[in-house]
Amino acid sequence: MLEDTIAAVSTPPGEGGIGIVRISGPNAIKIGGAVFNFNKLIKEPQSHRLYYGYVKDPESGMLIDEALITFMLSPNTYTREDVVEINCHGGALPLSKTLELVLAAGARMAKPGEFTQRAFINGRIDLAQAEAVIQLIRAKTETAMMLGMAQLQGRLSREIKEISQTLLRLLAHMEASIDFPEHQDVEDLAREQVLRNIEPALARLSALLETADHGRILREGIRTAIVGRPNVGKSSLLNALLKEQRAIVTEIPGTTRDVLEESINLGGVALTIIDTAGIRETADQVERIGVARTREVLEKADLVVFVLDASQPYSSEDSEILNAVGDKACIVVANKTDLLINADEQLCSLIKIVSPRTLIPLSVLHESGLEKLETAIVDAVFHGEAKLPEHTMVTSVRHKDALRRAQQSLNEMLGALKEGFAIDLLAIDLHTALDSLGEITGEAVSESLAEEIFRAFCIGK
């Protein structure tokens, strides 16, 4: 696969000052040279220098674009292969025509993420670092960007490698005692080494795992679902948080029939707010589907904002919704407080009903209480401390899953050790744990999984 040369437009579609065609592989230099006319005589272009000239069709001699070209020799390149970048004008035609010429000259169209995949295969970055590239590209807040950058620099990978090193040393002890079964002292030493070193390794794993939910939320945002009966003001609340008239608001119950999703930046944390169809028993088919979707959203949410109409009595429908929320983190909003005549008393009784959940009185109409709600949202998820990433953080569900499996294998090994199981059985658990950790950095990852990860990239990356 690495024997062919790949090419793609590496800048986003649309018009821009420049657009870049990137070529990588053994024939990159030759192909780049074939489609380019230097404006003065250049015998041997130097690596990592920018040259001025024209993209030219080698067959017809037609000039396509005025451009800059860079030849970058292996190994100091993005992919570690020879790389050529042609900076064209950023328009659809100059770029697609230039790419066409490059393909005609012998390159193959790159698949999504294939440049980064080559950087991984050629050992410039590991899998966790490759994933960090997508994180960085998709970051919606500065915090998410910082997390991506830390992972790209290899912070998580180093931590994982250190833990793996410890485990590998233990494995060596175990294998020595398997090889010399007649030496009881070798086995005793192995058991003692495992006992002494496994707890610290487990502690490091749990410390990483503890950062996982926090890390994912910092990266992807808090998924906050707004739920409640029809007409209580859910869509009005979404619009107020977004500060734009995104969702349709009417006095007709059942206005929202589908799920709406929007992002805002709340003090450096991305908040994905999801407006849902009001939950109620209904004969209307469209609305029923909407309600079913609401229930799905509820399951995946990190946080639920349950909206009540404070001017209406708390009903059995309300309590049914609260039951559906279950033990998810939940903030209750008492909306339409502007309609209350005896506000204190009415709110007091609501507070009792929804306790121990926090109740935030609100009037979307009068725009009062919104700031309190925003603070409560961040508090609910971060328990008062939206910490910025100082230490290594796990931000991906894939990594979390692998860490948990490693932890499980080590715990099983520890249990077996204490029960006096044979050392070769313990070694199996240790191997499994090492494999799980290797999935994070990509040392022990299946080809299909790696493919899947890179498919999530855009073309040209």
Ligand X SMILES: Nc1nc2c(ncn2[C@@H]2O[C@H](COP(=O)(O)OP(=O)(O)OP(=O)(O)O)[C@@H](O)[C@H]2O)c(=O)[nH]1
Q: Contact positions toward Mg ion, by CB under 5 A?
A: 234-235, 255-256
251 binds ligand X (CB under 6 A): yes
**Least distance in Å: CB of 309 to Mg ion?**
12
Stretches 127-135, 331-339, 344-352, 451-459: which one binds ligand X (CB under 6 A)?
Answer: 331-339
Q: Which residue is associated with the tokens 């966790």?
A: 128
Name the residue number minimizing CB distance to ligand X. Answer: 278
**Least distance in Å: CB of 247 to ligand X?**
7
Site for ligand X in 357-396 (CB under 6 A): 363-365
Residue 12's binding partner out of Mg ion, ligand X, none, with CB under 5 to 8 Å set by partner kind = none
Q: Cβ distance 190 to 423 under 8 Å?
A: yes
338 binds ligand X (CB under 6 A): yes
Residue 253's binding partner out of ligand X, Mg ion, none, with CB under 5 to 8 Å set by partner kind = ligand X
By beta-carbon proximity to ligand X, the closer residue of 248 and 425 is 248
Tokens coding 241: 């948080």
- Region class of 384: left (phi > 0), else alpha (psi between -120 and 50), else beta: left
By beta-carbon proximity to ligand X, the closer residue of 90 and 278 is 278
233 binds ligand X (CB under 6 A): yes
Separation CA 300–CA 138 (nearest Å): 21
Identity of the residue numbered 328: K
**Least distance in Å: CB of 273 to Mg ion?**
12
Stretches 102-110, 129-137, 228-236, 422-430: which one binds ligand X (CB under 6 A)?
Answer: 228-236
Among 178, 339, 340, 459, binds ligand X (CB under 6 A): 339
171 binds ligand X (CB under 6 A): no
**Least distance in Å: CB of 229 to ligand X?**
7
Stretches 55-63, 152-160, 234-242, 386-394: which one binds ligand X (CB under 6 A)?
Answer: 234-242
Residue 231's binding partner out of Mg ion, ligand X, none, with CB under 5 to 8 Å set by partner kind = ligand X
Write the CB contacts of 105 (distance below 8 Å, at least 6 apart in sequence): 30, 31, 34, 35, 58
Among 253, 267, 326, 384, binds ligand X (CB under 6 A): 253
310 binds ligand X (CB under 6 A): no
232 binds ligand X (CB under 6 A): yes
Among 94, 230, 369, 438, binds ligand X (CB under 6 A): 230
Among 53, 112, 154, 254, binds ligand X (CB under 6 A): 254
Site residues, ligand X (CB under 6 A): 228, 230-236, 249-251, 253-256, 277-278, 335-336, 338-339, 363-365
